[in-house]
Chains A and B, each alone.
Chain A
Amino acid sequence: MDTVLRYEMKYRFNNEMLYGHVENSIKLMERMLMDMCGPSDISLGIELRRVLLSKGKRLRPTLAFLCYKMSGNPAYAIEPLMCMLELMHTASLIHDDVIDNAGERHGEKTIHKVHGNLMAVQCGDYLLAKAMEQLHIYRGTGINEAMSDISQQMCIGEIQQIRSLFSMKKQTKENYFLQVKRKTAFLMGGSCYSGALAGGADPLKAEILRQCGIEIGIAFQLKDDILDIKGEKAFGKPLNQDLKKGVFTLPLLLAMETSPSKEITLLAEKREKTQLDIKKIIQFISDCKGVEKTQQIINECSEKAIFLLKSLKDCPEKEILKELAKNLANRKI
């Protein structure tokens, strides 16, 4: 779990015992993950250990854990599910880095940059095989079916995105939200849902938590899209990658809704953009308050998530989930 979230959870709640429970399960999950990396004397095993030890937020396993504890009637162990979620997520990140030709992830060189595309893809596939090993634990719960449906949706989301790159006509606001749900929000919702089911929640409660997770996921992705435009250099992420790749995110789409511009459309659709092109588009977004309007939607998603939780019994985990919804929407990382 990254430093900011740890700080928030430990000190804001002043609840060392609960903090300890979450952290303990995360640590156990991380030990289990290390055991799943394959032989330590071959490149695949070495690379997987390097990647799994890098500073990921462990957000999906954390969501699953919180919803598990909120359900209060645990029928299954939670750590294998946490592993499954983190394995699926890490495999998708490794493969995404090949697809995007990304050089770095969480401050580490990507596998394909070090060893080539084939190694990276096979590393991701190895993690999928390890995720499969956990399936038998959750037979008959609905968790396995949910995970494979989400996995298909994530792929469809990526495929649709690639097919509509550099096209303002195809990248409408409606399509944007559909992509956000498929690529990010459904897995976060699925993490909450599966954690709840493993914790013995009834279908209604599990569904409420899924919807909560989806709202958190939408807020998270929208914030990520704002950071790509306005992130701080201190965090070391190169800016404006979405624009360069031909992905039109909500700040731009909302700006275009406010003030349709043929000039900006032409610039955005250029496959090779100059620094000046990017600057003009960013200025346009700023003039039309695209970022502020996006932040408003983020706040609405965060509020929806918190509202959904109102119907559930009060408990410390529910408070943490509420704070998580607020913190992710406001994150600076």
Chain B
Amino acid sequence: MEQSNFYKKIEKMLEGDYKLLEASGYEKPTEIEKYAIYEAVLENYQGEKRRELAAACQCFYIFRKLHLLPDKQPESATLLGDYFFSRFSQCLIPIDSVKLIERFSDFLKEDSIKQTEIQGGFPKEHYIAFVKDISRQLEKTRRKSNGYGT
């Protein structure tokens, strides 16, 4: 029940963004792709702004996938990718975690360089593992600041 409500709320947050994606001729992420990301957050982080975190992670995923398509669709893929990056940052900033921003920045730097050197496609499994890890890290920080044991 909690999981289903959580997913519905994120879908509501991103409803307009998915419509924009579809109106531009792209498919929304599949249920499996979306829920893998939402689940990675839900299972590892219990604090405030979980929806924002899940939405940020989803927008970042779509941003990276689109920015691997500029040879096929230079105009729409580049522009929509930039849009999803702006949405990612809008969802991320209210979470107000310096460490989280640092981790995403490092991931993006590494991935940008990798894509120009190797062009291996977006590493989905590696990204899900990354989302789980940052969620766990946020949870650890939350528990520590609340005085719980780690």
Report B-chain residues with C-beta under 8 Å of the C-beta of A98. 70, 74, 78
CA distance A122 to B71 in the complex (A): 12
Task: Identify B83's interface contact among A44, A123, A139, A155, CB under 8 A.
Answer: A155
CA distance A132 to B108 in the complex (A): 10
Tell whether A255 is near chain B: CB-to-CB under 8 Å. no
Say how far A53's CB is from chain B's closest CB, in angstroms: 19
Q: Mark A42-55, 1 if CB is under 8 A from B, else 0.
A: 11100000000000
Q: Mark B49-92, 1 if CB is under 8 A from A, else 0.
A: 00000000000000000011011001110111111011101100
**Number of residues from A at the complex interface, CB < 8 A:** 42
Report B-chain residues with C-beta under 8 Å of the C-beta of A132. 89, 101, 104-105, 108
Given A126-B113, A128-B108, A129-B109: A121 and B78 interface contact (C-beta under 8 Å): yes
CA distance A89 to B45 in the complex (A): 34
Flag if A126 contacts B109 (CB, 8 Å).
yes
Tell whether B96 is near chain A: CB-to-CB under 8 Å. yes
Tell whether B102 is near chain A: CB-to-CB under 8 Å. yes
Tell whether B27 is near chain A: CB-to-CB under 8 Å. no
25 pairs, CB–CB < 8 Å, chain A vs chain B: A117-B74, A118-B115, A119-B116, A121-B78, A122-B115, A122-B116, A123-B112, A126-B108, A133-B101, A135-B101, A136-B101, A136-B102, A144-B93, A148-B86, A148-B90, A151-B82, A152-B83, A154-B82, A155-B82, A155-B86, A158-B79, A159-B20, A159-B79, A159-B80, A159-B83
Q: Mark B95-108, 1 if CB is under 8 A from A, else 0.
A: 01010011011101
Report A-chain residues with C-beta under 8 Å of the C-beta of B87. 152
| Consensus secondary structure, chain A interface | helix
Say how far A45's CB is from chain B's closest CB, in angstroms: 9
Flag if A136 contacts B74 (CB, 8 Å).
no
Q: What total count of A-B pairs have CB within 8 Å?
A: 116
Tell whether B48 is near chain A: CB-to-CB under 8 Å. no
Which single residue of chain B is at the shortest CB-CB distance from A44? B116
Flag if A118 contacts B93 (CB, 8 Å).
no
Tell whether A162 is near chain B: CB-to-CB under 8 Å. yes
Tell whether B117 is near chain A: CB-to-CB under 8 Å. yes
Flag if A155 contacts B70 (CB, 8 Å).
no
Tell whether B3 is near chain A: CB-to-CB under 8 Å. no
Say how far A329's CB is from chain B's closest CB, in angstroms: 29
Say how far B108's CB is from chain A's closest CB, in angstroms: 4
